[in-house]
A and B are shown apart, each in its own frame.
Chain A
Amino acid sequence: MDRSEYRIAGAGGQGVVTAGRILAEAAILSGAEAIHNQVYGPQSRGGASRSDVVIATERIGYPLAEEIDLLVALSGEACSRYHPELADRSRLVVDSRCVPTDLRTSDRPYPIVDTARSVSGGQLVSGVVALGVLQALTGVVEAATLCRAVADRVPTRHCEMNLEALEAGMRLVAGDER
Chain B
Amino acid sequence: MSGAKLVQGNEACVRGALAAGCNFYAGYPITPSSEIAELMVRFLPDAGGVFVQMEDEIASLATVIGASLAGSRAMTATSGPGFSLMQEHIGFATMAEVPCVVVNVMRGGPSTGLPTSPSQGDVMQARWGTHGDHPSIVLAPSSVGEVFNLTVKAFNLAERFRTPVTLIYDEIIGHTRESVVFPDSVDVISRPRPNGDPSTFLPKAAPPDGVPPMPAFGDGYRFHVTGLTHDERGFPTTDPGQAGALITRIHDKVTNHQEEITEIETLMLDDAEIAIFAYGIVGRSAHEAVLRAREAGIRVGMIRPLTLWPFPYHQVGEVAAQVDTLLVAEMNLGQLIGEVERAAAGRSEIVGHLRADGEPITPTDLVAAISGAGAVRT
A85 to chain B, nearest CB (A): 13
For residue A34, CB closer than 8 A to chain B, the reply is yes
Which residues of B from 255 to 288 have beta carbons under 8 Å from A? 281, 284-285, 287-288
Q: Please, which residue of chain A has its CB at the minimum distance from the CB of B8?
A: A36
A61 pairs with B360, CB closer than 8 A: no
Determine which of B177, B360, B362 lies in contact with A36 in the assembled complex, contact meaning CB atoms within 8 Å: B177
B284 pairs with A63, CB closer than 8 A: yes
B288 pairs with A61, CB closer than 8 A: yes
**What band does the interface of chain A fall in when counting residues whose beta carbon is under 8 Å from B?**
20 to 34
| SS class, residues of chain B in contact with chain A | mixed
Given A42-B31, A61-B284, A61-B287: A21 and B175 within 8 A (CB)?
Answer: no
For residue A37, CB closer than 8 A to chain B, the reply is yes
Instruction: Report the Cα distance A28→B291, complex, angstroms.
Output: 25
Determine which of A31, A38, A60 lies in contact with B175 in the assembled complex, contact meaning CB atoms within 8 Å: A38
**Chain B residues closer than 8 Å to A62, beta-carbon distance:** 284-285, 287-288, 362-363
Given A63-B284, A66-B364: A33 and B1 within 8 A (CB)?
Answer: yes
A153 to chain B, nearest CB (A): 10
Instruction: Report the Cα distance A62→B143, complex, angstroms.
Output: 10
Q: Mark B105-117, 1 if CB is under 8 A from A, else 0.
A: 0000000001110
B15 to chain A, nearest CB (A): 17
Q: Mark B1-33, 1 if CB is under 8 A from A, else 0.
A: 100111000000000000000000000000100
Question: Knowing that A28-B6, A42-B115, A63-B143 are A-B contacts, what are 17 other residue pairs whose CB atoms are under 8 Å apart, sorted by A's residue number?
Answer: A21-B6, A24-B6, A28-B1, A28-B179, A33-B1, A35-B176, A35-B178, A36-B6, A37-B172, A37-B176, A37-B177, A39-B116, A42-B114, A61-B287, A61-B288, A64-B360, A66-B364
Q: 28 interchain pairs (CB within 8 A)? A: A21-B6, A21-B177, A24-B179, A28-B4, A28-B6, A28-B179, A31-B1, A33-B1, A34-B6, A35-B176, A35-B177, A36-B176, A37-B175, A38-B175, A40-B116, A41-B116, A60-B178, A61-B291, A62-B284, A62-B288, A62-B362, A63-B143, A63-B176, A63-B284, A64-B360, A64-B362, A66-B362, A66-B363
